[in-house]
Amino acid sequence: MIISNKQSAEDKTKEVKNSQAKKEVDDLITKNDDLDYNLRPKALDGYIGQEKTIKQLKLIIDSAKIRDTLPEHILFYGQPGLGKTTLASLISQELGANLKTIAAPALQKGGDIVSLLINMEPNTILFVDEIHRLKAPLEEIMYSAMEDCVVDLVMGKGQGVSLGRFDLNPFTLVGATTQLGRISKPLKDRFPTVFQLEPYNESDILALVDRNLEILKINMDEDAKIAVSRRCRGVPRIANNILKRFKDLQVVHNIKTIDKETSLEFLYELGIYELGLTNSDINYLKSLKETSLALKTLSGILMEEAETLETVVEPYLIYLGFLDKGSDGRKLTPKGRIFIQNY
């Protein structure tokens, strides 16, 4: 009797331990599909970083709410992953407006943009990503839509041709671009408000990493957090992508707390080196060791699209003070030259 009691106590303890362990694992595993959604900021209040932009946006939104209207058109520019799409979605949410999202390359013909505009519901924020890629004739249709909320259409052919004008529901266009210089002047001039998003500074990115570690239920010591933050290049998307990989590491190897050594080793395995440089950056810098080169030549050598080099690789190398974009091509600065010597 005593034995069976002891056994049942042991069984009970095992059961409790198993269910505890299961709960711990369940807690660690957030469904992958949910990760991106969970990491996305849910309101302008508490949004980490971009303080000046957030302050101005709140003012614009509050004013629109008081006047019971939609804000004027807004343009965001900055490198990929800094939060342009997130901000467009938060604007619509704060205003209780509909959000319609489209990437400019998806609009091929005049008919695409006309149908998009005339089918827009009242109270809509139209978010056009990569707006610098909007084709010129489509841009012209957008001008009258932005200015007067109308679309002019040529209908019929030959002798039966007639001009038609459609009134649109009032809307706010939120444009996003990684390349402000590629937006035509007339289009740019039609955005009364232009916000430049900058890479996040070290303390903001550390705060963001801290917040997202908590959401992802990853335990990381302070030194590891700092090491990770310094390798995010000040870009939330990069930070989130790295943290998701750490989640995999923690779940698979059941690591209680990630320390600095583990974090650095893992970042190295991910191909993320000091200052957040990747193999693409290192190869880019190596190509310029001996001579300056034109963007097109670099694009050929590195087998990378010129636009990717210009929008993703180069801004960070310039920010680090490693690269000069002169009229005679791209060349290393003395600082860049010293850095790449070790590779």
Asked whether position 330 contacts ligand ADP by CB under 6 A, the answer is: no
Q: Among 30, 53, 124, 129, which one carries the catalytic annotation?
A: 129
Binding mask of the shown chain, residues 131 to 170, with x at each position contacting ligand ADP by CB under 6 A = ----------------------------------------
Q: Are 76 and 84 in contact (CB under 8 A)?
A: yes
**Looking at 47-55, 59-67, 185-193, 219-227, which segment touches ligand ADP (CB under 6 A)?**
47-55
Catalytic residue among 237, 247, 281, 330: 237
Considering the rule CB under 6 A, would residue 336 count as an interface residue with ligand ADP? no
Nearer to ligand ADP, 145 or 176 (CB): 176
Q: Which residue is nearest to ligand ADP (CB)?
A: 83
The helix/strand/coil state of 98 is strand
The residue (of 41 and 336) whose beta carbon lies closer to ligand ADP is 41
**Residue 255 backbone dihedrals phi, psi, to 5 degrees:** -85, 130
- SS3 state of residue 165: strand
Our answer to whether residue 129 is catalytic in this structure is: yes
Q: Is 84 a catalytic residue?
A: yes
Tokens of 10: 């042991």
Give the neighbor-by-neighbor strand order of the sheet with 98-103: 98-103, 124-129, 171-177, 74-77, 193-196
The only residue of 240, 250, 262, 263 in contact with ligand ADP, by rule CB under 6 A: 240
Under the binding rule (CB under 6 A), the answer on residue 227 touching ligand ADP is: no
Asked whether position 237 contacts ligand ADP by CB under 6 A, the answer is yes
Residue 236 found at the interface with ligand ADP (CB under 6 A): yes
Q: Residues near 35 by Cβ (< 8 Å), separated by ≥ 6?
A: 216, 244, 247
Separation of alpha carbons 168 and 151, rounded Å: 7
Identify the CA nearest to 204 among candidates 54, 29, 8, 4: 54
Residue 195 found at the interface with ligand ADP (CB under 6 A): no
What is the spatial distance between Cα 73 and Cα 198, in angstroms, rounded to a whole number? 20
Q: Which of 208, 216, 288, 312 binds ligand ADP (CB under 6 A)?
A: 208
b/e code 208-235 from CB counts within 10 Å (16+ = b): bbeebbeebebebeeebbbbbbbbbbbb
CA 248 to CA 254: how far, in whole Å?
9
- Applying CB under 6 A, the site for ligand ADP has a residue count of 19
Told to check if 84 binds ligand ADP by CB under 6 A, we report yes
Query: Does residue 85 bind ligand ADP (CB under 6 A)?
Result: yes
CB of 135 to ligand ADP, least distance (A): 21
Alpha-carbon distance of 38 to 304, in angstroms, equals 32
Asked if 38 and 31 touch (Cβ cutoff 8 Å), the reply is no
Tell me if 234 contacts ligand ADP by CB under 6 A: no
Can residue 246 be called a binding residue for ligand ADP (CB under 6 A)? no
237 in active site: yes
The active-site residue out of 84, 133, 190, 231 is 84
Is 58 tagged catalytic?
no
- Distance, CA of 244 to CA of 247 (rounded, Å): 5
Q: Which entry of 85, 124, 172, 262 is annotated as an active-site residue?
A: 85
The answer to whether residue 178 is catalytic is yes
Give the catalytic positions in this structure: 84-85, 129, 178, 237
- Interface with ligand ADP by CB under 6 A: which residues? 36, 39-41, 47-49, 80-86, 176, 208, 236-237, 240
